Structure 1
Amino acid sequence: MNEMKLMYAQAAKNWSEGLPIGNGRLAAMVYGGAEQETWNITELTYWSGKRETVESRSSGKGDIAKLRQHFFDGDYEAGERMASEILQPTKGNFGTNLPMCDVQLHFGHEEKDVVRELNIDNAVLTTSHHVNGAKLYREMFASHEDGLIACRIWSTLSDGVSFSLHLTGGTDRFESWNERFDVLAFQGQALESVHSDGECGVRCQGQVRIRTQGGQVSGENGRLVVTGAREAVIYFAVQTDYDVEGDSWLNESMRRLDEAEAKGYIVLKADHISDYRKLYHRVNIDFGLTDSAVLPTDERIKRLAEGIDDDPQLYALFFQFGRYLTLCGAREDSPLPLNLQGIWNDNIACRMGWTCDYHLDINTEMNYYPIEIGNMSECHLPLMRYIERLAEGGRSAAKDFYGCEGWVAHTVSNAWEFSAPAWQTSWGLNVTGGLWIAGQLQEHYEFTLDDTFLKETAYPVLKESALFFLDYMAIHPKYGWLVSGPSNSPENSFYADDGTRHPRALTMGSTLDQVLISDLFEFCLSAAQKLQTDEELQIRLKQAIELLPPLQIGSRGELQEWLEDYEEAQPQHRHLSHLHSLYPASRITPQYTPALSDAAKKTLELRKSSDYHEDIEFTVAAFAGCYARLHDGESSYEQISHLIGELCYTNLLTYSKPGIAGAELQTYIADGNYGGTAAIAEMLLQSHAGELHLLPALPSKWASGQFAGLRARGAMEVDVVWAEGRIVEATVQAFASGRKLLRYGDRTLPFNYEAGRVYKIDGELRIQEVTNQ
């Protein structure tokens, strides 16, 4: 009854009802039933577009100084006009991630007694149904260990497995053919003409093989047909030419399939489960069980949407499903990070003004919010490598657009580390986009305390970012503060005091810019001191920190989003970037900055109460995380309930409503799943601001429960058991030595811990037992 499963008692009619599998590179959304089944195949590197130089029309510092003066003078119209002239490059072959192909299986059976299950515990998807007095079973998984997708189909009759299989391409340049009677080969290219010229993109080549027990297999006209078998196993593998030289990639999928066949399906499955569980089983979470837990998942979601909130295990399932999605899309050897849709692709975001890309003004960052606290640190590594490459490419953007040293990236990026401003300054001139995503380097270090990573990766990359901002920023003539700009506050607008009532997007010193830069400078200073290096830089950082503007409270009691107390042009806006210092950063805390915490709470209230509030997945996840940081468990719970009940498909994947940012259709976006997972973790455990805070935002609905394996900053792992709203016992396993303030409710206690020790703590925060690991 308490198994972590998504379960359905009918066929899936379309993509948004399908169930996802993935291995960190290759993925499928699986939907259908007894009559037919579709595997919508996606792959992280299957991108249209190409690497190309972006031309700048800026002469460097001279132009930037003239541009800034317009904003200092209050001439926003002239400033925005000049910004579009020199900092708005033409959109080239930026590209987008695309679906690769569909594997189509046709069974021709009546939709009778169909049951579909995705077992989160072992990452295996199963489907069963009755046919002709027998039962037909299918199970499939995407193996990270062996780099392919495998599916076994069997029947309770000795000759009960019959079906046909063919492929349809996700792009125009796709073809498949019968390599042998039991093998389909295919090749394609990721081409589209919305985000590129339709002529450039990554190529793929792969195979589908079928092996049977009993019956026969035949193939012609691009189809494989199985007739009268007892069992059939399908193997699918593909490789792309992304970031490779030569032609060796052309044989990679064949090699993987040969090795998989030599292992056999049973061993493949066992290796897959073992590999997956090494990461998944690190964390357990339990909020209690009710009879609702046995209902199909779609019914459970519907009941929650109708206000029937008697299913605490659904929240635990949503949390573990978020971790599952991470393990499907972000393994330690993944070639690229998670994109806007994780590793899947509904063929909607990539076909409109949006792109299935790397949005660096919240979406990509939120994808990685649960990585460290959710005990999946290895899954951060593909992003770490990507940020290093982004920094390399960003040196050209810093020099060409601003005449500055160091590196910079803006609002969006792609498979080739695009770092220039995007093609519309109102949203594309977010000068701290690259810095925002690079903050994950700091996050990874704070949770792991890996000094080698700090020395070789985090500090070098963040140091060069600091060098850019030290070179780029200017003293505001009115305030004497060191400010960034022109830049925006993603992706919002305001009314300037210029008498026009025309919404403006660009200004100097937006709150997001300033807090990201403050955190950057302070981290680099601390790291340089720890590493005993760059003494001159340390002096420059100290001087700059003294000149940075403070967080400010506006006339309505809210946290100001800009340097000036502007009137919001879109008070209903979906972005909450100016609350970054509350969550996920830690400059604002109820215990240490109560006035700013009240202002942050007021900001949330004003945003929610606005007419036509943009109620979408990442906003709700951000609300939940912010309320958790304010120690408001009831409000955080309310947001998570809304996310699951109102903004999830029946397969628990989150979506964005039509009409947001020009979207015409309801669109799957991964950040709601990842952000919601992280927010639940923040409700249970927080480790910022020098504290280890147990159950900081526990809602009354989770009065009794437990979690095990959540990670904390300072290289610790934490387990907690509670009953009737109070801690029974906590366990802290330390992987490094340090000191924190242990907090539970209003109670605090200094906590000194040593690497290799395990601490048993009671509900009064008293250490009851200390053992060695």
Structure 2
Amino acid sequence: MNGMKLKYSRPATNWSQGLPIGNGRMGAVIQGGIQSERWNLTEVTYWSGRPEEISGSAQSKAELDRMRDAFFAGDYRLGEQLAQQSLQPAKSNFGTNLSLCDLTLRFDSQGERFARELDLEEAIVHHSYQADGRRHKREVFASHADGIVASRIWSEQPGEVSFVLGLQGRTTDFSVTATVEDGCGTIGFAGQATENMHSDGSCGVFSRGAVKVVAQGGTVGEEAGTVIVNNADEAFIYFAVATDYGQSGEDWTMESGKRLEHAISKGYEKIREDHIADYRKLYARVSLELGDSGGRSELAIDERIRLLMDKPELEQGGDPQLFALFYQYGRYLTIAGSREDSPLPMNLQGIWNDGEANRMQWSCDYHLDVNTQMNYFPTESGNLAECHVPLMTFVARLADAGRAAADGFYGCEGWVAHVFTNAWGFASPGWETSWGLNVTGGLWIATHLREHYEFGLDERFLRETAYPVLKEAAAFFLDYLTVHPQYGWLVTGPSNSPENSFYLGSDPTVTHQLSMGATMDQMLVRDLFEFCLSSAETLDADHAFQEKLRHSIALLPPLRIGAKGQLQEWLEDYGEAQPDHRHLSHLFGLYPGNQITPSGTPELCEAARTTLNNRMGRADLEDVEFTLAMIAASFARLRDGANAHKQLKYLIGRLCFDNLFTYSKAGIAGAETNIFVADGNFGGTAAIAEILLQSHAGQIDVLPALPEQWSTGKVEGLRAKGNVEVDIAWENGSLTETSLRAFTSGTLEVIVRYGNLTVHLDLEQGHTYKLDGRLRLL
């Protein structure tokens, strides 16, 4: 785990160079240099908007039938017009997550040899420089254990710490008050998350908080709403905030004050110690080495990013440890952004927010057509199951809200959600059917309940959470599916293949978005029905429901291969109006699903490969961060390490800011600038794990897609389905040893695979099984 630091020799002059910290609720991006420092502070529940009921039509089922009749008759234009009339609600106070405030520090000092770094081993940001031969240091971290952001500022020489601390709100409704009492400087603040792009400017979450400064030696004063420290030996800064999200009464207004009082009484060193221990109990579970990066490992990260693409052959093998660092950075961001007690899961920008999405038609919300899902793709395999819990809780709440959408828009039982949701449980179709009528968006995010169960095999979680939520989703689709008059298959619709479009016949100028039986819908519904059936059998429950599922599964459409050898994105072999489109939703069955596998469905694998090659071969491919991550993981599933590595290299080398945050390019989906989107970090992390270990389709597959650039390395602590931890070591491109540790009670039967070798093992709880490079038990 050596070198797991993001190191820089230049100041961070803007947000995309700053270094992120977080405690699962509060986030901060730390910018600055010798003379200044800025913390851009965020809080995951600080949302504009409010809960609002959006009603569907009283004739929803009859209207749905009319739409379907039009599509089945080939009148797509009429079908889309009818959908717009019934399934296109107006946008109201949907809201967005907003930045909270900026904490600024101004230092009247000069210096040299500036350095800053984010230490992934401790989750602490360090700044340092030299002045008059003496070292000056600053550090800051976000403590989950104590619910605060804490910082220390000190120098080798007593009496040399002086600064001015201020606080500026990021919304118009924000006020501050500075006081000094008992030698402690405090800036209290109150704010409301208001804006007028995604709401009417009058509604949003309220916040209360404070920043406290405690100095050793020197003086502490206040002036014009700031705290001034002069000639201290060292100073400590503590920041806390609370909001009224999900709260009743006024107790929440006291919460941040209590946290700060406790922190000061506890003392900085103990807070720091507890923070590291709390963080490392998660982070330290996995270690990864991908080879020697030579001299590049000593360079600043921004230089290594540029060298990756500009001079890839500077040293033999390039910079393999940069990929290992990117992987651990993704795990770090997961821990920082999503903890077991987080009130909300990570949104489009994790828990960090530069404000760019808030001022555009974009929203810093929950996109359910890949983005929010991808935020959690690496969580289970990365041995961070606890970090998955906020998403589980959120999906259960979304299911509650989705009952009204199922009934109001479709006249169906169960629950449904579509392409977007927010902190208030929005479940209705989006406000344009062209992209907003993704009827399986809620189902896709709910598949994470299945993933969480399959990795952990917690039967209580299955019985109390996963199965009830997914059973209701299945109830919706059992009611919603309709028989295709030509094929006799049960199909969804009208719906879209997220954000994509097609044309009929030979005229590419007349495009459509809606159809019946889009491929992704059918993949998700099949997975849903099969999981609910197996769960009901495991729990010995709902026997009549089981029969309905068996009957319906037999009537679902098969996956189809088009005339050009590609996996069809729609039920029919339509023309692709946007063959360079960023979404690859119809490859869900390859990744993250497992309906398409090299050993089980080789013809479909080749069709999926054709689809990937077609997209990659387009000069105008929308090379968005999540697209590159999906392509990399998909090639890993095809056991194509060379192409998986190529996509990851491009993701890191071309679609990362200096701070290794991934971004979506200006012009993509209306983005006005290169805009940070967290999913690329998490998707890239998941793709690296897929290259090294896969556990789906009933197998644990070791080194399934190892690229030649990572010819020697080792990984410890990856997690496989079945509650199994796996260590792997390899040299010269070949496996040398792998170990499996079982944590589930009883005996688990598994098939371990490496290349063309397989071995059957019966794993018993608490035992470790070591295999050599030929999968022989040691």
TM range (shorter): over 0.9
SS in structure 2 at match of 1:44: strand
| Residue 700 of structure 1 pairs with residue 708 of structure 2 | yes
Identify the residue that residue 671 of structure 2 maps to in structure 1: 663
Task: State which of 536, 551, 555 in structure 1 corresponds to 2:544.
Answer: 536
Identify the residue that residue 305 of structure 1 maps to in structure 2: 309
SS in structure 2 at match of 1:142: strand
Identify the residue that residue 29 of structure 1 maps to in structure 2: 29
Identify the residue that residue 355 of structure 1 maps to in structure 2: 363
Alignment of 1:14-93 (within 5 A): 14-57=14-57, 59-93=59-93
Identify the residue that residue 403 of structure 2 maps to in structure 1: 395
Task: State which of 232, 236, 261 in structure 1 corresponds to 2:264.
Answer: 261
SS in structure 2 at match of 1:196: coil
Query: What is the one-letter code of the residue matched to 1:10?
Result: R
State the distance in 1 between where 2:301 and 2:194 align.
36
| Residue 767 of structure 1 pairs with residue 771 of structure 2 | no
Percent same amino acid at aligned positions? Answer: 55
Query: Are the equivalent residues in 2 in contact too, given 1:74–1:498 (CA < 8 A)?
Result: no
Identify the residue that residue 219 of structure 1 maps to in structure 2: 222
Query: Are the equivalent residues in 2 in contact too, given 1:76–1:496 (CA < 8 A)?
Result: no
Query: What is the one-letter code of the residue matched to 1:724?
Result: N
Query: What is the one-letter code of the residue matched to 2:509?
Result: R
State the distance in 2 between where 1:474 and 1:669 align.
37
Number of residues paired by the alignment?
768
SS in structure 2 at match of 1:201: coil
SS in structure 1 at match of 2:79: helix
TM-score normalized with structure 1 length:
0.98
State the distance in 2 between where 1:254 and 1:329 align.
23
State the distance in 1 between where 2:506 and 2:127 align.
63
Query: Are the equivalent residues in 2 in contact too, given 1:48–1:95 (CA < 8 A)?
Result: yes
Identify the residue that residue 272 of structure 1 maps to in structure 2: 275
Deviations 1:169-211 (A, max 9, x none): 1100001111335111001000000000000000101011000
Alignment of 1:468-507 (within 5 A): 468-497=476-505, 501-507=509-515
Deviations 1:64-93 (A, max 9, x none): 001111111111111111101100001010
Query: Are the equivalent residues in 2 in contact too, given 1:2–1:293 (CA < 8 A)?
Result: no
Alignment of 1:322-337 (within 5 A): 322-337=330-345
Alignment of 1:257-656 (within 5 A): 257-289=260-292, 290-308=294-312, 310-497=318-505, 501-656=509-664
Query: What is the one-letter code of the residue matched to 1:421?
Result: P
Query: Are the equivalent residues in 2 in contact too, given 1:34–1:108 (CA < 8 A)?
Result: no
State the distance in 2 between where 1:60 and 1:530 align.
36
Query: Are the equivalent residues in 1 in contact too, given 2:508–2:577 (CA < 8 A)?
Result: no
Report the CA distance shift for 1:650/1:122 in structure 2 as closer, same or farther (over 3 A).
same
Identify the residue that residue 240 of structure 2 maps to in structure 1: 237
Moved more, 421-430 or 307-316: 307-316
SS in structure 1 at match of 2:118: strand
Query: What is the one-letter code of the residue matched to 1:307?
Result: K
Deviations 1:231-258 (A, max 9, x none): 0000000000000000000000000001
1:499 is displaced (CA, Å) by 6.1
Query: Are the equivalent residues in 2 in contact too, given 1:625–1:678 (CA < 8 A)?
Result: yes
Report the CA distance shift for 1:111/1:432 in structure 2 as closer, same or farther (over 3 A).
farther
Query: Are the equivalent residues in 1 in contact too, given 2:46–2:100 (CA < 8 A)?
Result: yes
1:58 is displaced (CA, Å) by 5.6
Identify the residue that residue 145 of structure 1 maps to in structure 2: 145
| Residue 248 of structure 1 pairs with residue 217 of structure 2 | no
Identify the residue that residue 95 of structure 1 maps to in structure 2: 95
Identify the residue that residue 104 of structure 2 maps to in structure 1: 104
State the distance in 1 between where 2:604 and 2:659 align.
38
Query: Are the equivalent residues in 2 in contact too, given 1:10–1:113 (CA < 8 A)?
Result: no
Query: Are the equivalent residues in 2 in contact too, given 1:509–1:563 (CA < 8 A)?
Result: yes
Query: Are the equivalent residues in 1 in contact too, given 2:505–2:575 (CA < 8 A)?
Result: no
Moved more, 296-305 or 732-741: 732-741
| Residue 201 of structure 1 pairs with residue 204 of structure 2 | yes
Alignment of 1:153-232 (within 5 A): 153-180=153-180, 182-232=185-235
Task: State which of 705, 714, 735 in structure 2 corresponds to 1:727.
Answer: 735
SS in structure 2 at match of 1:226: strand
Query: What is the one-letter code of the residue matched to 1:637?
Result: H
SS in structure 2 at match of 1:100: strand
SS in structure 1 at match of 2:98: coil
State the distance in 2 between where 1:632 and 1:141 align.
39
1:498 is displaced (CA, Å) by 9.2
Query: What is the one-letter code of the residue matched to 2:776?
Result: R
State the distance in 2 between where 1:742 and 1:11 align.
48
SS in structure 2 at match of 1:457: helix
Identify the residue that residue 2 of structure 2 maps to in structure 1: 2
1:496 is displaced (CA, Å) by 2.3
Identify the residue that residue 136 of structure 1 maps to in structure 2: 136
Query: What is the one-letter code of the residue matched to 2:362?
Result: W
Query: What is the one-letter code of the residue matched to 2:605?
Result: S
Identify the residue that residue 123 of structure 1 maps to in structure 2: 123
TM-score normalized with structure 2 length:
0.98
1:503 is displaced (CA, Å) by 1.4
- RMSD, aligned CA: 1.1
Query: Are the equivalent residues in 1 in contact too, given 2:60–2:86 (CA < 8 A)?
Result: no
State the distance in 2 between where 1:317 and 1:594 align.
34
Query: What is the one-letter code of the residue matched to 1:765?
Result: L
SS in structure 2 at match of 1:427: helix
Deviations 1:301-357 (A, max 9, x none): 110020325211111000000000000010000000000000100100121111000
Identify the residue that residue 771 of structure 1 maps to in structure 2: none
1:135 is displaced (CA, Å) by 2.2
State the distance in 1 between where 2:200 and 2:486 align.
46
State the distance in 2 between where 1:109 and 1:11 align.
15
1:748 is displaced (CA, Å) by 1.4
Query: Are the equivalent residues in 1 in contact too, given 2:180–2:220 (CA < 8 A)?
Result: no
SS in structure 2 at match of 1:344: coil
State the distance in 2 between where 1:322 and 1:112 align.
32
State the distance in 1 between where 2:155 and 2:751 align.
59
Moved more, 744-753 or 705-714: 744-753
Query: What is the one-letter code of the residue matched to 1:295?
Result: L
State the distance in 1 between where 2:394 and 2:571 align.
32
SS in structure 2 at match of 1:371: coil
State the distance in 1 between where 2:507 and 2:308 align.
48
SS in structure 2 at match of 1:682: helix
Identify the residue that residue 750 of structure 1 maps to in structure 2: 760
Deviations 1:658-717 (A, max 9, x none): 010111111000000000000000000001011010000001111110000000011100
1:491 is displaced (CA, Å) by 1.1
State the distance in 1 between where 2:506 and 2:436 align.
23
State the distance in 1 between where 2:735 and 2:723 align.
22
State the distance in 2 between where 1:231 and 1:526 align.
61
SS in structure 2 at match of 1:168: strand
State the distance in 1 between where 2:773 and 2:119 align.
35
